[in-house]
Structure formats: C-alpha cells, structure tokens
Amino acid sequence: MLKTIKLFLPLVTISVLSACTTAPLSTTVSQQEQRDLALQTAIIQFTKQPNINFSKAFVDLNENHKNDAIVLLRDRNWCGSGGCTLLIFEKQHRKYKLISQSTVTDAPIYALNTYHQGWRDLAVYSRKRGFVRFKYDGQRYPSNPSILNIIQQFDERSATLLIGQ
C-alpha cells in the first residue's frame, strides 16, 4: 500500500498545483483600440474637455506609412456660424502630435492626390464658399479656410472622402 501511495503522490501533487493556477486574464488591446485611445488622449489634452463630440479619419498624410489623424470638433464649444475647429495630428510612435489647427471649417473633408512640402493636400468645405485647398506650408496647414481661394470645378470622385456630412 505504501508503494501505491508513493506512485500516486507526484500525480496528486501536480493535479493540485495545476488546479491552483489560473490562466492570466486577457489584457490584449487591439491596435485600433490603442490608436483610438491615443487620439482621444491628444484631443482631451488640446480641448481640456473629457467628453467632446467629434468626427475623425485616419490617413497617411506625409507618406511615412503611419496613419495621421484628421479631427473635426463638432462640439458646440468648438463651432460657430462659420464652421467648426479642424485638428490635424501627426502619428509619432504611439502618440498623436498636434501639427495644425484651423477654425471655421466644415465637412465634407477630402484627401487630394497632390502634395506640398511632403504632405498631402486636403479639400475642406468652407461654409457659403465651397471647397478650398489646404496646402501644408512646411509647418502646418492653413488656420482659416475662409480666406483661401475656392477650388474651381472640384471633382469629388478624384479625391478620398475622409469626413462626411
């Protein structure tokens, strides 16, 4: 009988120990969730508001194979009769850095197939005027679309819609 106990003791010990351990909880966060959280953090840092209404789009604006963020703040604190505030963030590592802020902007917003200073041009709607071309000047995009020339004969089919109505 002692022999039988000696044979089963290691098996019982292993069974008891394995029953006491639990599988680690899954804390995996998807890349999309990480991206959205990083953008949300950048928006809160800029607006100083934890809950704000906005539309967003992700697109590689500077051909570095990282999706930058275009954000149209649609919150009443960031909109007026001429439009809303547009923020453009550059993706840097796991964070978003604000590179441009524009007022009196409205949707729709399109990405064009042309570039200036290594950054993609945007077609932004300016209320009561039409679409204007946002060109990067080496530091930022224009701060006020209402003073830019409108795009004559803008063909939406030749651009990529980022943020719709």
Asked whether the predicted pLDDT for residue 90 surpasses 50, the reply is yes
Question: Quick one: which H or E segment has residue 126?
Answer: strand 119-126
Task: Please count the structural domains in the chain.
Answer: 1
Reported pTM: 0.81
Asked whether the predicted pLDDT for residue 25 surpasses 80, the reply is no
**Is there a domain that residue 21 lies in?**
no
Asked whether the predicted pLDDT for residue 118 surpasses 60, the reply is yes
Containing domain of residue 156, as a range? Answer: 31-163
3-state SS class at 95: strand
**Is there a domain that residue 139 lies in?**
yes
**Is there a domain that residue 17 lies in?**
no
**Is there a domain that residue 122 lies in?**
yes
pLDDT, tens only, 51-76: 999 999 999 999 999 999 999 999 99
pLDDT of residue 2: 43
pLDDT of residue 29: 78
**76-99 b/e (C-beta count within 10 Å ≥ 16 → b):** eebbeebbbbbbbbbbeeeebebb
**Is there a domain that residue 3 lies in?**
no
**Is there a domain that residue 35 lies in?**
yes
pLDDT of residue 128: 85
**Is there a domain that residue 158 lies in?**
yes
